[in-house]
Structures are given as structure tokens and as C-alpha cells.
Chains A and B, each alone.
Chain A
Amino acid sequence: MRTPLNESAQPISGLVEVAPIAPKRFRLHPLRSSVVGALLALLVLELLFRLIGFERTQRGSVREIRHFTEGFATSHFGPDGVRLTGNPAIQGAPLWLIIGDSHVEAREVSDATTMGAVLEQMARSRGRSLNIRQYGWSGTAAPAYIVTADSMLRAWAPEWVIIVLGPEDVGTQPLETARLWRMRIEPDTSIRLLDVRFRPSAATGLRGWLRERSLTPSAMIGGLSRQSALFAQFTLRLPQVRGAYAAQGGEKTQEMGLIAHATVGALQDAYADRLLVVYASPIGHSGGETADPEESALLAACALEKVRCISTRESMREERDKRFRLSRGFSNTAPGEGHLNVVGHDVIARDIWHALVPPASADQ
């Protein structure tokens, strides 16, 4: 006779009551769990970077860069580094060159809102054919623009060359901290160019290798450069740059007027009569009622050297005080600080237009 199992505490002969086996939950060793968690986090970050895609090359030779630290914009650069305007070039049309530093490189604004693009649109909307080529090299100063003068003039035969300068160009930057090329002022106020171009080292090789394979460590290395602040000083720390600079007799001078005079004189020699110097005034959310010392020094030097020169101070101040629009700053930066925004590029474009186009034909 069979006895139900649940009525008897005694095992039935030949049968052994076996307690139900609880399902085992799969658990990793804690250390392995931690390693798995950390690796997963790195993978997620890598996927995120690849999705955002900070920089990529498309259409064979156009470089596309997505910028997030100041504003949110996508910019495109041609093979020789020209910042594209997004407008098609007009065959045979006069060409103006705009040359400058990161304010002309303008990674913070989209192609169609750069000063060059706005100028092209202004001209073409008034029935004038005009092509603009804009070259901006971040962290550079007048020495770099002088070095490239011959090649630019030969390649493009521009009608006008517009050099955009800022307060730092009249300070010690061209002497001490500018990238690529710096200058030394001779006793006769001429300048001697100093080559401080960055030579690839093992570190840059490693970064390039990493970048090809993974964006996360590359971004972290880039982050380290930012975090250590003053990218311009980064080159100064490298032994080979320090040595080259010292060998060429780089010296400091604090005399702003001398720097301005030497700079304008050298630009005049390089670009002759087709030169327009534009001083991009650092108008923020206050100030600007009077010219700053840098502006005064630059305008005085231009008057002395008989170089066409304009300052955007009044236009930017009017834009701020009457139309309540700031020329600098972005939605993720403090208002009035940093690089030129869409309004700033628009103001500069209009100032350039009014400086170069006779009034009668300016608004035709």
C-alpha cells in the first residue's frame, strides 16, 4: 500500500524523500563583477562617442567637425583648411580672403552663419557676384598670416584680404604663445618670423593610433589637454619648441604700441593695398563705451602705416544696447564671453561690407 509522502514523516523503504532544489541564481565573483561593470561602462562611453562623432571625414576630402564645448554646431573644412560657407562658388567672381584665428575658424557656428557666408549672401542678394574663402587657424597670430601671404596671393589673387585681429594680437601672444609662427621685433620695428610649428612626437603618434581604434582614451587625452588649461602654453612646454624658440632669440616686449606698429607694418608689406584689418572688439555684456588700449594702439598703427582698418566696437555695442543682442557667448557659456556667435559674425560681416563697398552701391 502506498503511503502518500505528505502523511508520513518516515521515509518509505526504497524511496528517499528529496527536498525540492531551489534554482541557483547565477552570481559572478565580486571582483569579476566589478571588472565587468567597469568594462561595460567604457563600452557605453565608446558607443556614445562614436554616435556623436566629434570629427569625421566625408565626401573624400571635406572634414566635418561637431563642436559642443561652446555652442552646438557642425562645421566643414575643405582640403586646404578653408572653412566652407555652404554657398556654391561662382565661376569668375571676385574673391575676398578672410584670415584669422579661431574666430575665423569659427567651429562654434554653422557654415551658413560664418562671417564669410553672411558676406556672400549679402553680396549675392544685392546682385553682386562674390566668393569668400575664409581661413582660420586656432591659436595663431599675425606671424602665421604673414608667412602664408605669398601662397595665398598667388593661389587666389584676391580682390581684398581681410585680416581679423583681436586684443590678444596686440599683446604678447604673437611673441610668446601663438601657435605655428611667432615673431621677434627688430630695433627698426620690422619683424623676424620664428618657426614654432609643432613637430609630431611619440605622444601624438600614440594619440593618433588610439583615435583610429577607440575614441574614449583619445577624448580623455584631449580632455587632459583642456584640463591642464591654456592650450597655447602646451607648445611652450615641449622641449623641442622651447629650444627652437630660444635659438631664434625670442624675446618679450610689453610695449603694445610697438607690437601693433610692427604687426600692421608687416601685414602691409605682405598684402599691400588689398589689405583690410578688422579689430573684433571684445564687447561683452558691459563696457565698450571707450576704446580699449589694444584697439587704440591698433588703429593708431593703421593710421601711421596708412592701412585700412575698422573696429567693430560701435556696431557690437549698438547691437547690445539697442537691439539686445550679444555678439559673444552661446547657450552653454556665459553671455558675452568667448568666441563670436552668430550675431558677432553678422556684425563683422556687415562692418566689412560697409568698409569695402562704396555706399552708393552697398545697398543696390
Chain B
Amino acid sequence: MVFTSWAFVKFLAVVLVGLRIMPTRMLRQLLILLASAYFYAYWEPAYLLLLATPSLIDYWCAIAIEDSGKAHIRKRWLLFSLISNLGLLAYFKYTGFFAETIAGLFGMEKPQLDIVLPVGISFFTFKTLSYTIDVYRREIAACRNMWQYAMFVAYFPELVAGPIVRASVFLPQMTRSLKLAWPRTLIGLQIILLGVTKKLVIADRLAPFADAIFAAPELYSPLTVASAVLAYSLQIYCDFSGYSDIAIGVSRIIGFDLPENFNMPYAATSITDFWRRWHMTLSSWLRDYLYIPLGGNRKGQIRTYVNLMLTMLLGGLWHGASWTFVVWGLLHGAGLAVHKLWSTVFPGQRRPFRGVVGWALTYGFVCFAWIFFRSPDFSTAVAIVRKLAFIDRAGVDWVYSPLWIILPLVVLGHFIGLTAARQARIAQSPRRVPPPAWAAGLYASVRNRFALKPHPAAGVYVLLPLRSAVGVFVLTLWVLCLYFFAALQTSPFIYFQF
């Protein structure tokens, strides 16, 4: 069930009431496990078997790895876990892709395969893989409680579209009571509200326009196509970060703290900075389980660039079984490699193209890469690039007014978030680097006038204090505007397809 549906609201209400009335922690954990099973089975009951199988395999593999004293036996159990997990993922996600590619190479007829991709398989596969690898590396102890492990794997807020939570983050939180508490509930509700706003008001408003242009780019003028690429960049960010916000908010209410997945990625001033802010749980996963094992930057410059390209290529392939995703990954790999080289040639403060220019180059590059991410095939991507290069200039001019209303709102949101985050960092920083006077003054003025402040328990979120008239005024207006401006037709969360 989709987070922005009434079915999920009813489901969540039942879960929260259940948590309220369950007398012990164990019963509350069991409730969450059963709710997670129901949540996943809602799409297709048979999927539960798919979720249970690798979970059981990894549970026993981790215990076997930990209990075994011999290195080669430990390695075998790890390999078994890797092969079974990746084998399942490969079968469901990549069989059709490889079959079509081979058929295309040899001029054969495209095979008609009827393999349905289970929801969230990429996410929970990575989650369970990280568990067995961490146990193998002796970074965490194997979980000996099957129900707690099952709850970790199936935990419904982040099961189908992340954030990719590691066992080292989640399992220690099993000691929490999971009793509902009003302060956490208020924080969680506001984070959920932010996520729902991003999804229903921004992402779903931009989706019809982006979809129409990407379906027939040849028909539209270069400026219209450019605005569609811009719209898609906002759509995918708000869609995915909105989902993450809802997952984090729901978890906050239940009593678990999930890692942040986005930190204002479009404020990045370099492609490396972008990947420290975009889908942070995936990028850290790729870094820790792919890039570093390949050698990272420890085997010379050329090997570092190769490792970056390879990591991002596989990262692109993780997103989807299509060559356009591979190209998207390669583009980002190339971007990271170029930035690495640039940083080597121009280290530290003397590096050119920082600040606003760096931001513009980064955002432009990211948007260019999104063309391949979004396009259904290469011909569409090429048609869009031709339009952006003004090679093909004719076409319908279409000004989509919601885009030009949403864009300043997103910019404003980033500005508030950046200054709030900066103020929070300054408060914690021993060096106390002062902000520019105009930023500090503006932020103080906004904060004092509207009682906004970064909430220390809420991470990167700026929350409204609910014990003041101004805070409730803004919140009420927000909820009502959400009601009136939410898109009438919602589209599925983009990352569900991965």
C-alpha cells in the first residue's frame, strides 16, 4: 500500500493503537513484525515467501559465520549468502534485461518472459547483504533472535523504498520500549507532513508535465524540454525524499530512528558533494561494500577512477535493468572521477569553480544525467539532448505554471534548511565560524518572527513549535493548503520500480 493512500492511514492507525495497548516490548515488536508482513503481503501474498527465504538464509549464514573459527569456512558461508541474495535479485530483476540484450546482439527475437519484479527487492537485498558482510567483518554480532532479525528485515516503513538501514543502526534499537510518546509523535507527524507535501503538492504536480514531455520530446520546443528536465529533477527529489521523510516520520512515532537519506542534494557544489547528500544510505552502502573492497583510492589514481566508474555503473544498474540506467551510472562515475582529478590538480581553497559556479555546474550535470535516468529508451534521451543543444528547435511552447511556483518554494526551503543547519553546526562547533552577517541577520529575523528553529531531535528538519499561536497558525494553514493543492491524480512513488 502506498504511503499517501487512505489504506495506509488506516493501517498505520491500527498499528499505533496496537502499540499503545500492547503491555510489553516483546508484544509490541511482534505487532510490528506482523504489521510488516501484512504490509508487504498487501501487494502480493506470494511476495512474503520471497522476503522470508533470503532472510532465513542470511540469519543462519550470519550465525554460521560467527560460530565458525576457520577463515575459509566463514568465507564460504558469506559466499553462499551473497550468491543466494544476488541470485534472487538477478533472476527477478535482470533476467529479462540480459535475455533481451543477448537477443539483440545475435539478432534473435526478443524473448517473452513473464517475470514480475517484487516490490522493494533491491532495497531489502542490500539490507540483508550488509548484515552478513558486517558479521563477516566482525563489525557486529550476529543476531540470535529470529523474530528480531525478521523485524529488522521486514520493517515496513523502509521495506520497499528505503532508507537502506544497516543492522548496526537498527538492531541496537531493539532495546527500546516502543511505547508511544507524545513528543516523538509530534515530531514524527511534522516530518510526515513535510514528506506528504513534497509528494502530493510538488512531485505529483510536476509529474504530468514531465511525463508528457518525455513521452514525445520531438513535439516540444527546446525551452519547453529544458523546463521538463528541470521539472523532473524537482519531481524525483521531492518524490524520493518525500517517501524517505514519511518513512522516517512513521519510524519516529513508532520509536525507531532511521538514518537520513537526503541532505539538500541540490545545494551541492560538486558531484562528490552531491553524492554525500543524495540517497545517502545507498551511496554509503556502495562506498562500504563495493568501492572500498575494490580498493577505493588506495591503489593509485587510475585504479581509483576505475573503481569509481565501476561502483557507479553497478549503482546505475541497481536502479533498473536498462542500458539508460547504466549510462546514468557511468555519467556519475565519470563525474566523480573528473572531480577527483580536479581536486588533485587544484587542492584545497585554490580550486576554481567552487561556490556558485560549482553549484551551477553540478546541478546542470545532475540534470543532464537525469535525462538518461528518466528516458524510456536511448532514442528519447537523444531527442531531448538534441533539443537542449538547439539542434532541433521547432516545437510546441508550453509554459507549465506550477513549475514556476514550485521552484521558488523549493529554493526557499533549501535556504531555510541550509541556514538552520549552518546555525546548528555553528552552535556545536568549537571553532564557532561566524556566518555572513546578512545570513545570520535574516535567519534570526525569520526565526524570531515565525518561531522556527532547528529541532535538535529532528535531524535536518526545521520544525514548528506547537505551543505557540504562530506555530499552530503556520501548521493549520499548511495542512489546509495541502488539502487544496494536492494533485488530484497521484502517481506511484518513483523508487517503487526499483
- CB neighbours of A220 from chain B (8 A): 483
- CB neighbours of B401 from chain A (8 A): 331-332
Contact of B476 with A331 in the complex, beta carbons under 8 Å: no
Complex A-B: 25 CB contacts under 8 Å: A28-B469, A34-B467, A36-B469, A36-B472, A37-B469, A37-B471, A37-B474, A38-B476, A40-B469, A41-B474, A41-B476, A216-B480, A220-B483, A223-B484, A229-B488, A285-B215, A286-B215, A286-B219, A324-B219, A331-B400, A332-B400, A332-B402, A335-B209, A335-B396, A337-B212
Contact of B471 with A335 in the complex, beta carbons under 8 Å: no
Once A38-B476, A40-B473, A219-B484 are accepted as A-B contacts, the answer to whether A334 and B209 lie under 8 Å apart by CB is yes
Q: Which residues of A contact B (CB under 8 A)?
A: 28, 30, 33-38, 40-42, 44-45, 216, 219-220, 223, 226-227, 229, 285-286, 320, 324-326, 329, 331-337
Once A335-B212, A337-B208 are accepted as A-B contacts, the answer to whether A226 and B472 lie under 8 Å apart by CB is no
Q: Which of A41, A45, A286 interacts with B216 by CB under 8 Å?
A: A286
B278 to chain A, nearest CB (A): 27
B211 to chain A, nearest CB (A): 7
- CB neighbours of A285 from chain B (8 A): 212, 215-216, 219-220, 396
B375-406 toward A: CB 8 Å interface, digit per residue (1/0)? 00000000000000000001111111110000
Closest chain B residue to A330 by CB distance?
A: B401
Contact of A33 with B472 in the complex, beta carbons under 8 Å: yes
- CB neighbours of B480 from chain A (8 A): 41-42, 45, 216
Tell me the chain B residues, 434-493 only, with Cβ under 8 Å from chain A: 466-477, 480, 483-484, 486, 488
Tell me the chain B residues, 267-317 only, with Cβ under 8 Å from chain A: none
Contact of A331 with B399 in the complex, beta carbons under 8 Å: yes
The dominant DSSP class at the A interface is helix
Contact of A324 with B470 in the complex, beta carbons under 8 Å: no
Contact of B484 with A33 in the complex, beta carbons under 8 Å: no
Contact of A37 with B212 in the complex, beta carbons under 8 Å: no
Once A227-B488, A285-B219 are accepted as A-B contacts, the answer to whether A324 and B402 lie under 8 Å apart by CB is no
Beyond the given A38-B476, A324-B221, A335-B400, please list 9 additional residue pairs across the A-B interface where CB-CB is below 8 A.
A33-B468, A33-B472, A34-B467, A37-B473, A38-B472, A44-B477, A285-B220, A320-B396, A326-B396
- CB neighbours of A37 from chain B (8 A): 468-476
B394 to chain A, nearest CB (A): 7
- CB neighbours of B468 from chain A (8 A): 30, 33, 37
Q: Which of B211, B396, B473, B483 interacts with A325 by CB under 8 Å?
A: B396
Q: Which of B400, B470, B474, B477 interacts with A45 by CB under 8 Å?
A: B477
Contact of A33 with B212 in the complex, beta carbons under 8 Å: no
State in angstroms the CA–CA spacing of A135 and B62 once bound together.
73
- CB neighbours of A329 from chain B (8 A): 398
State in angstroms the CA–CA spacing of A331 and B205 once bound together.
12
- CB neighbours of A332 from chain B (8 A): 400-402
Tell me the chain B residues, 208-226 only, with Cβ under 8 Å from chain A: 208-209, 211-213, 215-216, 219-221
- CB neighbours of B212 from chain A (8 A): 285, 334-337
Closest chain A residue to B211 by CB distance?
A: A334
- CB neighbours of B473 from chain A (8 A): 37-38, 40-41
State in angstroms the CA–CA spacing of A285 and B212 once bound together.
8
State in angstroms the CA–CA spacing of A45 and B221 once bound together.
38
7 shortest interchain CB distances as A-B pairs:
A37-B472, A334-B208, A41-B476, A37-B473, A37-B469, A30-B467, A33-B469
B296 to chain A, nearest CB (A): 45
State in angstroms the CA–CA spacing of A220 and B477 once bound together.
13
State in angstroms the CA–CA spacing of A35 and B476 once bound together.
10
State in angstroms the CA–CA spacing of A38 and B402 once bound together.
27
- CB neighbours of B483 from chain A (8 A): 220, 223
State in angstroms the CA–CA spacing of A11 and B401 once bound together.
73
